[in-house]
Structure 1
Amino acid sequence: MEKSYTLSEVAHLLSVSKETLRRWDVTGRLAPIRLPNNYRRYTLESLKNFEASKFLFDPSEENEFQFRPIRPFSVVELFAGAGGLALGLEKAGLHCHTLNELDHWACETLRANRPHWRVIEGDVSHVSFSDHQGKIDVVTGGFPCQAFSYAGKKRGLEDARGTLFYEFARVVKEIQPLICVGENVRGLCTHDNGKTLAGMKDILDDLGYDVIPPQILKAIFYQVPQKRERLLLVGLKKDLGLKFSYPKPHNEVYSLKHALKAGPLYDCDVPLASGQAYPLRKQQIMSMVPAGGYWRDLPLDVQKEYMLKSFYLGGGKTGMARRIHWDEPCLTLTTSPAQKQTERCHPEETRPFTTREYARIQTFPDDWQFKGSMNQIYKQIGNAVPVNLAHAMGKQLIKTLNEYYIAQELRQRFYDDPN
């Protein structure tokens, strides 16, 4: 059977809305295959003329040797959470030297899985990293998006005081790594009309870092079966010739079945685990929703009962009463799979995803154990950076560091022996 993609997947692939795709269907620009219930599937062949989909047709393989570290490269991570970013970077070949996290149970998760990692539990504002100066290659951190009044070049870093970006920038200033990487939600791009992001870039520039254009990475393009997006902010220490490129998209988009069933991502079906349950009436309502459907697939009277005042408001609200389909990537996971605004219902069983299903959708390995109550575990997993997305970024960081140190060695050889 020829490879095909859903309406939602193609919207992500081409960075257009579903409404645009439906309009293209009418005009003939991009015609789908029609399935029962008016579902659309798009063949690979139909996408070949779109620049954004070129990676799907590129059979070339990058030379994996460029992603193998030529020497130990070290990372300090702030706001480490349950370890999604750190684990992905470790998987790529980076050494996680120190991790800082405020949440106790997330720290317990890190310690349980990686006893050799140095985990500093507590408020980052109370931790000094001055003793790491010149010893760390990369500083990373998923600081929360907080507005601050930036007054140009007058006060620089001081403008961001009281925010966690200030702490991230302070640690960068103390350590002076070759590369700093901040990750955040895509909303940072437009936060305070773009002023927050502009201020962050200017502050890193003041600290001696060239900030390459921030980019939103869609997790579905990096072997993650989830429609999650993360904004990456990468700074390279100035005047050292450092060059960085964001990872190229993988030429396969994985779906929920790849997360929960044996296949290219996991060699066995998802293990049994604990999970939340729906109250009786909600279970009755969710049982009426087909796989891939949401509240609009309910009978009209049930729609009104379930949605209440939201029924009469505008917007699609497609996360409400949502049952995920086996053949689509999961919607972005939240800190709870059963909240009314963001249901993530199993495709066959009428229940939220279990904690282990949650972990698989975030591409954690099955042997990664989470500590704390069930709700705390959902929170840790929902807030994490997908491991495979972090792995893709880690490989690019290694490539950048390899090229830098190789150039350093060649320059040193030239100076030692100019003939």
Structure 2
Amino acid sequence: MNVLSLFDGISCGRVALERANINVIKYYASEIDKYAIQVSQNNYPDIIRLGDINNWENWDIDWSSIDLILAGSPCQGFSFAGKQLAFDDKRSALFFRFAEILSHVQSLNQNVKFLLENVRMKKEFEHVITSVVGVEPVLINSALVSAQNRKRLYWANWAFEQPEDKLILLKDIIDDTALTDKSRAIFQRPRGKNEGSILTEKSSSMTSRSWEHNNVICSAGWIKWWNENKEHQQQKKYSQLCNDEPKSITLTARQYASWNGNFYQIDDKTFRKLTPVECERLQTLPDNYTAGISNSQRYKCLGNGWTVDVIAHILRAINY
């Protein structure tokens, strides 16, 4: 299979193809973030680099040979966590570059498959995307296959079902070498209309801009204090500790940009950030997949990435 990956990031799509046992002949990738490219290159030096998607008409590629197009166009303009500028946001407007490429390839190969991922958004924005690509999206929460709550929309021109729940919890991804007691939680600090919470089973969603809110690991003593004082602390910049919920919140690209994130508690007085390896596990990537760049860039790349096992599940349903 010849694959074209747009907004390729750290090549989570390539990992998913391997996991789905799909043979890749050529894998073309369009990405401009140098750190994401470095991670991708470290893992897959055979990837054919195409550069900026805005220059797609100049790419040297046999368009008719493309069997599958993967795309996760930038989501910041659509996200409920952002300003929801939608197509007025230049990042989200890149969706139309994907649409142009899809139309061009379809004119040469009507059997080409495509998979597009994006965040939950206002229905009016969702309907625009649906009208362009011609298929309805499926909403999948990564919590079914990982320890992270991460609800995303997936548009594909083949049918697929919801994945089975693997019953993976936060305690399953915590690194034994990072702390001795795994019965801890993530604290999600309050911000805006979010009152904050303690997550014990699932992390919240990783994104490229909210690491500072979502990944502080905390202890039972801290959790007790938070529950007793929560109403007085909701406007303060405390980091987020996880212990009331079984899943992590969504990873973001700014997870630890300031002292505001998801931290894991080691004892009654100590808590720490989730490690890059633990965040890789939240995205169902191999341990140390993003090694070789700074931790801050690892967090950002992971927040921008896909949950690999969700993508692999969808890809397994392809008939080709």
Does residue 321 of the first structure (1) align with residue 250 of the second (2)?
Answer: no
- Whole-Å separation in 2 of the counterparts to 1:287 and 1:230: 25
**Structure 2 counterpart of 1:131, one-letter code:** I
Decide whether aligned partners of structure 1 residues 322 and 366 sit closer, same or farther in structure 2, where only a CA change above 3 A counts: same
- Whole-Å separation in 2 of the counterparts to 1:197 and 1:110: 30
Match of 1:112 among 42, 64, 68: 42
1:203 alignment partner in structure 2: 132
Superposition CA RMSD, Å: 3.4
**Structure 2 counterpart of 1:199, one-letter code:** V
Contact 1:256 1:329 in 2 (8 A): yes
- Whole-Å separation in 1 of the counterparts to 2:151 and 2:105: 28
- Whole-Å separation in 2 of the counterparts to 1:170 and 1:228: 28
Does residue 247 of the first structure (1) align with residue 161 of the second (2)?
Answer: yes
Gap runs ≥5 in structure 2: 78-85, 180-215
Contact 1:111 1:119 in 2 (8 A): no
- Whole-Å separation in 2 of the counterparts to 1:142 and 1:295: 40
Contact 2:143 2:247 in 1 (8 A): yes
**Pairs within 5 Å for 1:159-308:** 163-176=93-106, 178-187=112-121, 190=122, 194-205=123-134, 211=135, 213-221=136-144, 223-235=145-157, 244-260=158-174, 269=176, 290=220, 293=223, 296-297=226-227, 299=229, 304=232, 307-308=235-236
CA shift for structure 1 position 249: 2.4
SS at the partner of 1:127? helix
2:15 alignment partner in structure 1: 87
Deviations 1:256-308 (A, max 9, x none): 122235xxxxxxx5689xxxxxxxxxxxxx898638959852536xx646724
Identical aligned pairs, as a percentage? 23
CA shift for structure 1 position 86: 2.6
Deviations 1:285-334 (A, max 9, x none): x898638959852536xx646724x9xxxxxxxxx632224982211112
Gap runs ≥5 in structure 1: 1-72, 150-159, 206-210, 236-243, 262-268, 273-285, 311-319, 402-419
SS at the partner of 1:166? helix
2:52 alignment partner in structure 1: 123
SS at the partner of 1:115? coil
Query: What is the TM-score with the length of structure 2 in the denominator?
Result: 0.71
How many residues align? The count is: 265
Contact 2:280 2:288 in 1 (8 A): no
Give the strand-richer structure, 1 or 2.
Answer: 2
SS at the partner of 1:250? coil
Decide whether aligned partners of structure 1 residues 332 and 148 sit closer, same or farther in structure 2, where only a CA change above 3 A counts: closer
**Structure 1 counterpart of 2:148, one-letter code:** Q
CA shift for structure 1 position 340: 7.1
Structure exhibiting the larger radius of gyration computed from Cα positions? 1
- Whole-Å separation in 2 of the counterparts to 1:291 and 1:224: 27
Query: What is the TM-score with the length of structure 1 in the denominator?
Result: 0.56
Give the helix-richer structure, 1 or 2.
Answer: 1
Decide whether aligned partners of structure 1 residues 219 and 295 sit closer, same or farther in structure 2, where only a CA change above 3 A counts: farther
Contact 2:264 2:272 in 1 (8 A): yes
**Structure 2 counterpart of 1:329, one-letter code:** K
Contact 1:83 1:110 in 2 (8 A): yes
- Whole-Å separation in 2 of the counterparts to 1:297 and 1:339: 26
